[in-house]
Amino acid sequence: MSAATATRSQLALQSYLDALLQEATFEDLEPLVETPPAPAPAPLKPVALAVAEVATPAPALETLPVDHGFDEFEAAVLEEIERVTSDIDQVSQFIVFGDSLSDAGNFPDLQSPTLGGNPTGGLRFTNRTGPTYGPGEYIGEVGTQRLAGMLGLQSLPSTPLLPALLTGNPDGTNYAVGGYRTDQILDSINGDSIVEVGGLSRTRPGYLRENPRVDSNALYYLNGGGNDIFQLNTNPVTMAQAASNLVAGVGALQAAGARYIIVSDLPDVGTTPLGAFTGQAATFNFLSDQFNAELASQLQAQGGNYVLVNNRLLLAEVRADLAAFGFDPNVAQTAVCFDASAGNCQADPVYSLGGSAPDPSRLLFNDAVHPTTAVHQISADYLYSILSAPWEVSLLPEMGRSALRAHLQQLDTELAALRGDWQPIGAWRTFVQGGYNRPEYDGYGGGDGHGLSLSLGVTHRLSEAWLAGVSLGLAENSLELGRNDSDYDMRSYLATAFARYEYQRLFADFSLSAGYLDYHDLKRTFALGITERTEKGDTEGTLWGAAVKTGFNLMQPGDRLQFGPFIGASYQKVDVDGYSEKGARSTTLSYDDQELDSLRLSLGLFGDYALTERTRLFGEVAREVEREDEDRRDLRMSLNSVPGNSFELPGAVPTGDQTRFSVGLTHRLTPGLALRANYHYRGNDNRDHGLGLSLALDL
């Protein structure tokens, strides 16, 4: 683009914003409440109730000077995009429909930092980022934006009035607009998305008009209902009708192929500064009760896969323990607000804008109905805890498989060490093995584990070519997963019968395994704002497996170097019983039974080298290919506090193809006693390291 062209574009943009500034003021976007003469709810100017989602400031943007070059601004935008990127890819997109609770900035924020004298930020219905919380600062992100960042995605406004040339952002997938009633939310799905203020408007086709067949791997989120209550005087509607609009939106998305849909209930809108200011708290809460009852009932009747989250209970839990979440317990939190400029709530004398020590993080509400970014953070963490839970819990079968693999790896090491060193026909040999393994998993914050094992086994020489035995194993395994180090412990009891055949250069191994898994002290830990919460449970499981491996020695028996190829196949099945976390808080969950099937084929090379008469080095390398569970599975679960709603969300991707290798050393201490040590590794999508030490004694 030439300099002249750029100048013309900026001049056109300047004219656009000048017209906007003349026709709209910041006050036009603030909620206005008429003092009600009767118990009926007082109308609000079209501005939605927002209750719970997160808003982390955009640090790269909030420090922008008042006037700067476009290139500098664009760089800051790119930096912010990079900031919110995470290391997971559980869902492909995040698409949002709702009101001011979720509005990512479709309206222009006329007091935001400027570019060439023009505002560059979108209006969001919460507090500014600070330190002054006034003009020249960006407004904090709402919860859907923060959640998107935690998922490695974006939540940009769908129909912003500020052009992309100014903001550096294209039209996004957040169709939530401040002031939207549920009928308008439905229109943004299958009709038109319309954003208008001060005589300026923009229309974009609704999501399903642009996407008749949706991305089935995307996450969809809907909230609404507050504005249907606040606008009853100007737009009469029953709560059944209001709820049916959201339900119809869910149904339309499901029919178009959406698999993962989250629907927020409506918190007690009377338990806000607006309820206290107008004296209509009881009326507002009664209507909230009606809306939620209709929403739950109609969603259940419609069916399909959806998650109805309990924001109402979550916020009640916050109010019951204000100090734990960083809010001042000595403040009448439901009666005061941070920004009382609209005149419909009472400013807190200490923490409000203009107070003695302004700090929105100490207050629940920014204005009469909209929460501060601190509350948004809590609710976003709440949603993230639900989305990450199936990834964590679906690794319980992987825990069992990891324990069995470590057990079999130790056994395989023992058999490899026996090559050319069998006991006499009819004789017995016993062995004891200790091992440590460390699995690593990618996903929501990642995770790793620790495993300690002890095995006791015995072998019997049946004939010149056959050796058979049994191994019993006990292991303690733990996993630490996620951003807040959830802790999952498992004790395994394993038994394996095995046999080896050797004839000249040919060998073959056979094994059959079974086990019981005791999952205890399962602690799912996650953030809720500045605090942490842990939900606990217990369950059990079983497993069995079978394996065969055959190989050919390319060298002569008795040579110092033994070397050759092998092929193998193994089948493993792990079943984990469903369980419920204890209690019925907003965050407790229940999970259905899980099953993991694994059929792996392997091709590799083995080697064995005699260092001395008494010491040998051995090892192998192989490629394992998974032929059974290769794709991510959904886990069926439910919120304990939301009866009648079970749903499926994506779990972890089962461990797929892997490359593995092992190396070991065996040393004969005495004619009937040998010491062995080994290291093994397998990795690709997930990884596992292990160490082992054993003693073998001829009986």
> Looking at the annotation, which residues are catalytic?
100, 367, 370
Residue 246's H or E segment, with its range, is: helix 239-255
Query: Any idea what DSSP says for residue 644?
Result: T
CA distance 162 to 363: 31
Rounded Cα distance between 637 and 635, Å, is 6
- Closest by CA to 264, choosing from 648, 639, 652, is 639
CB atoms within 10 A of CB 559: 14
User: Rounded distance, CA 324 to CA 326, Å?
Assistant: 6
Helical H segments across 127-197, by residue range: 143-150, 164-167, 182-190
Query: How far apart (Å, rounded) are the C-alpha atoms in residues 132 and 339?
Result: 12
Distance, CA of 181 to CA of 179 (rounded, Å): 6
- Report d(CA 660, CA 643) in Å as an integer: 46
Residue 653: which of 403, 390, 402, 382 has the closest Cα? 390
Round to the nearest angstrom and report the end-to-end CA distance of the chain.
Answer: 86
With the C-alpha atoms ordered 378, 383, 385, 388, is the resulting torsion angle positive or negative? negative
d(CA 449, CA 478): 5
Helix (H, G, I), strand (E, B) or coil at 54: coil
Tokens of 389: 């839970």
| Centroid of chain to Cα 30 | 34
SS (H, E, C) 415-426: HHHCCCCCCCCC
Which of 457, 447, 453 has its CA nearest to residue 476? 453
